[in-house]
Amino acid sequence: MSHTPYSKEIEDSMSEVESTRQKRLKQKLPSLSLNEREALLKMWHPDYKEGMKRPLLLGPNKGDSVPHEVADLIEAYPLIDPKELDLSKIDYDVELLVIGGGGAGAAAALWANYSGVKSEDMLIVTKLRFGDSNTMMAQGGIQAADRQEDTPVFHYLDVFGGGHFTNSPELVRALVEDAPLIMKWHEELGIMYDKKNDGEMIEIHGGGTSKRRMHTCKDYTGLEIMRVLKDEALNKEIPVLEFSSVIELLTNDEGRVNGAALWNLETKEYQIARAKAVVLATGGFGRLHIQGFPTTNHYGATMDGVVMAYRVGAKLRDLDSAQYHPTGVAYPEQIFGLLITEKVRSVGAQLTNKDGQQFIYQLEPRDVVSSAIIKQCYGDRTGVATPTGAIGVWLDIPLIEELRGKGAVQRLLPAMHRQYKRFGIDISQNPVLTFPTLHYQNGGIAINEDAEVLDASGKPIKGLYAAGEIGGGVHGKNRLMGNSLLGINVFGRRAGLSAAKHLKRKDGKTKLSLGHVAKYVEALKEANVPMTRKSPMILPEYRGKEVLSRALPIFPI
């Protein structure tokens, strides 16, 4: 044990982890059966906790239960009175509007461009900077069944089992079938995957995989993918509008989506974009802090796209389930709730309780591992109290050095090593304290395999496509590691191709309206939704309570 910032009690517990390490090195806990997994989830997973959800009062999913935090944004009035906007002045008149500047948005724009949509006929609009997204933060890897020992069929089965057999067969098939061609595309773009000298990909397991198919770029996989896709989009001179948030979609009289109302976060001015096709790639809901959990997500993950699509009539699915990543940082406080990548466990780290005992095979699917950790902390009371009063379990990272040799932690996990080093903790020497953190929106808006957004009757909403975390059905009720980086590419590509095909049909540009929003407002009034509730959220509120209580709106907006 090297120097640590912990109390004697925590150091004693850490010594237990050290003293059992050699024994655990040879000890692999058995995987749970499907029935054992389900029993654990029902007892301990936050999705099953009573009183945390409510049925929606209106819209295509009326009666379906979703977390209160989600319902509060869906059952909410628009930020603007539809009558306030002048839709006759069009600021951006394009063929394709891509909403969201993460991996899915970039992939959609690129593939639309490859299939003939000119750069100048497109616009990517994003409320942060292009690329500042959950894609950028994804560390662990990307799945693709490309080794001879593996097949897309095994991949299909793993995705379904991970998702508790609630996934859409068409979407999972698309995911696993496109995976190899996505990897090939990435190779051509120059993405630096971890390879052996002969060019073969180094592939490892993730939670719930039956074959090694996790491709990695150290533990910066998402960063490497995102920055290359962004670089390529910039090379193609695809226009990007940053720090502008979409506040409402626009439709014509027949309900076809044909544009969006934008809001410049800096000047507070609204602008109108007209488009023949719109791709929603706005990501997920981490910043809603479901059930008060901290999150691994970026600042803008506020579910705006789901809210706006629902007003247009999009059907939602599986939004009753949220993914809590098993290993969020429980200490130090400064990075509380941030991600400790699953790759840490893929390359050998085990979880132990305060007595240094393993309690779950570390590569079960995420919801199962999270439930097991919560059980240790709140059921068996064998967790460790952190210096700041949280409770967690140990993630024995130094075990990786025992398995793979000295220096392996820094070589395979430089981002993790660096993040803890900033707070005086050397993870190659010491285990770390961990507890589940809100990570991923498993469900979302219903789409088909062409990435078209579906309405309540299962028919595509014309002009509207969706890709990435916003879409539901791919991962069912629980996503496996490495399938989100794959999903943004597969469905981003499909959205771009579908939109391009749609554009070739030469539909004329149509009149813009907010008629669907006016209708939604009527339904909100009928359901007696409090007028104070407004959405989309755009950015979460973290300002100090004291300062907010004394703030004066002298410069109203």
Partner 1 sequence: MSSESKYIRIYVMGKDYLVPPDLTIMKAMEFIGYKYIRGIGCRGGFCGACATVYRMKDDYKLYTGLACQATVKDQMYLVQIPFVPAQKQHYDLARLKSDSSIVMGLYPELARCVSCNSCTKACPQELEVMDAVQSILRGDLTKTANLSFDCIACGLCSLRCPAEIQHANVFQLVRRLHGAYELKRSKHLEARIGEMQEKKFEKQLQEYMKKTEEELRKAYSERKIEPEEVV
Near partner 1 by CB under 8 A, which window of 44-52, 85-93, 235-243, 351-359?
Answer: 235-243
- By beta-carbon proximity to partner 1, the closer residue of 142 and 314 is 142
Near partner 1 by CB under 8 A, which window of 2-10, 17-25, 82-90, 333-341?
Answer: 333-341
Residue 154 beta carbon to partner 1: minimum distance, rounded to whole angstroms? 7
| Residue 325 bears catalytic tag | yes
Residue 496 beta carbon to partner 1: minimum distance, rounded to whole angstroms? 19
Residue 313 beta carbon to partner 1: minimum distance, rounded to whole angstroms? 27
Q: Which 161-200 residues touch partner 1, going by CB under 8 A?
A: 161, 165, 169-170, 173, 176-177, 180-181, 183-184, 187-193, 195-200
Near partner 1 by CB under 8 A, which window of 15-23, 156-164, 378-386, 485-493?
Answer: 156-164
**148 is a site residue for partner 1 (CB under 8 A):** yes
| Contacts of 145 by beta carbon, 8 Å cutoff, 6+ apart | 151, 152, 154, 155, 176, 179, 180, 211, 213
**154 is a site residue for partner 1 (CB under 8 A):** yes
**293 is a site residue for partner 1 (CB under 8 A):** no
Q: Is 521 exposed, middle or buried (0-12, 13-18, 19+ CB in 10 A)?
A: middle
Q: What are phi and psi of 511, to 5 degrees?
A: -70, 140
Q: Which 88-117 residues touch partner 1, going by CB under 8 A?
A: none
Q: Which 530-549 residues touch partner 1, going by CB under 8 A?
A: 539, 541-544, 547-548
Q: Which 13-32 residues touch partner 1, going by CB under 8 A?
A: 31
Q: What are phi and psi of 473, to 5 degrees?
A: 105, -30
The token pair that represents 395 in the structure block: 């993630």
Residue 210 beta carbon to partner 1: minimum distance, rounded to whole angstroms? 5
DSSP-assigned states of every residue in 77-110: EESS-GGG--TTS-SEE-SEEEE--SHHHHHHHH
Q: How far apart are CA 158 and CA 545, in angstroms?
A: 45
Residue 361 beta carbon to partner 1: minimum distance, rounded to whole angstroms? 10
Quick one: CA dihedral 140, 232, 114, 245, positive or negative? positive
Catalytic residue among 155, 345, 417, 516: 345
Q: How far apart are CA 244 and CA 232, in angstroms?
A: 22
Q: How far apart are CA 211 and CA 215, in angstroms?
A: 12
Q: Which 201-230 residues touch partner 1, going by CB under 8 A?
A: 201-205, 210-212, 217-218, 220, 222-224, 227-228
Residue 390 beta carbon to partner 1: minimum distance, rounded to whole angstroms? 14
**457 is a site residue for partner 1 (CB under 8 A):** no
DSSP-assigned states of every residue in 172-219: HHHHHHHHHHHHHHHHHHT----B-TTSPBPEE--TT-SS--EE-BTB
**6 is a site residue for partner 1 (CB under 8 A):** no
The binder of partner 1 chosen from 25, 58, 335, 523 (CB under 8 A): 335
**418 is a site residue for partner 1 (CB under 8 A):** yes
- By beta-carbon proximity to partner 1, the closer residue of 147 and 381 is 147
Contact 248, 78 (CB under 8 A): yes
Catalytic residue among 24, 274, 325, 417: 325
| Contacts of 279 by beta carbon, 8 Å cutoff, 6+ apart | 96, 97, 98, 99, 100, 105, 108, 109, 451, 465, 466, 467, 495, 496, 499
Q: Which helix (H) or strand (E) holds 490?
A: helix 483-504
Nearest residue to 284 (alpha-carbon basis) of 384, 135, 123, 64? 135
Q: Which 247-286 residues touch partner 1, going by CB under 8 A?
A: 265-266
Residue 454 beta carbon to partner 1: minimum distance, rounded to whole angstroms? 18
Catalytic residues: 325, 345
